[in-house]
Amino acid sequence: MEMKPIPDYPNYAVTKDGRVWSYNKNKFLNPIDGDWGRYVVLSIQGMRFLRFVSRLVFTAFNSYEPERLYYKDGNRYNPHLDNLEGVTRVELNKRIHTGKVCPRAPKIFRVNITTGVKDSIKIRPMDEGYVRIHKALQRRSLTSCGYLYYYEGEKHKLINEIKAHIKTDYLALENAESRDRITQIKNHITKNKKYLELLETN
């Protein structure tokens, strides 16, 4: 896994897929999804700074900070390096006026956890629940508001994620000692197996 130091923030590094590493905490930071993109809080000598992850990624791997960023898939919450293009303000405005800034977003499918019914939805960044749904689509949570979510053509990724959770739970079960903990893990396994069944039958 390649990490690059973040210019002007010596205690941090970033990966190509948009994860920010803190050398002080010796772990990856939890990003925050705001109205205008994903950001993290960086600290220097006790001073805190909010920085967009996409800009940190682009700057670290390209050795310069762009005037503007263009998101190739139209999703400003996707800070992967291969999704980012540095452009000038003039170029970005030109793309806005020619309709090239927001390419067709991939179709979003959801499966109702209770009924098993699958449908597709369209959601805009300003719609209520957008951030929660986006977290589920980015696998930061398995479900949101009673649904499983995945992009068209990516159901297998969600299935693999759930299988990994089940495998981890079985390993945890082998080392669990208290009855409450054992019950908790078994319930979690049962729940994830239900999710798996819903996805495999839809």
| Overall number of domains in the chain | 2
pLDDT at 124: 67
Q: What is the pLDDT of residue 99?
A: 64
DSSP 52-94: EHHHHHHHHHHSS--SEEEETTS-TT---GGGEEEE-HHHHHH
Q: Say whether both 50 and 130 belong to one domain.
A: no
CATH label of the domain that carries residue 18: 3.90.75.20
What was the pLDDT predicted at 32? 87
Together in a domain, 52 and 23: yes
What integer pLDDT is reported at residue 100 of this predicted model?
60
pLDDT of residue 20: 96
Examine the domain organization and report whether 24 and 109 are in the same domain: no
What pLDDT sits at residue 8? 92
Q: What is the mean pLDDT of each run of 10 residues along the chain (202 residues)?
A: 91 95 94 85 90 96 92 86 91 75 71 94 73 79 91 89 92 88 93 94 86
pLDDT recorded at residue 2: 87
**Domain co-membership, 54 together with 70:** yes
Identify whether residues 55 and 89 lie together within a single domain. Answer: yes
- Which residue segment(s) compose the domain that 109 sits in? 105-202
- Position 25 scores a pLDDT of 93
Indicate whether 154 and 200 sit together in one domain: yes
Q: Looking at the structure, do residues 42 and 116 belong to the same domain, yes or no? A: no
**Is residue 42 domain-shared with residue 127, that is, in the same domain?**
no
Domain boundary among 66, 97, 128: 97
Residues 91 and 131 in one domain: no
CA-wise closest residue to 84 among 161, 14, 7: 14
Mark which of 97, 118, 134 sits at the end of a domain. 97
E strand or H helix at 166, and its extent?
helix 155-175
Among residues 97, 113, 141, which one ends one of the domains? 97
3-state percent breakdown (helix, strand, coil) of the chain, nearest 5: 35, 30, 35
Tell me, yes or no, whether 92 and 109 share the same domain.
no
Q: Could you tell me if 189 and 140 lie in one domain?
A: yes
Same domain, 119 and 92: no
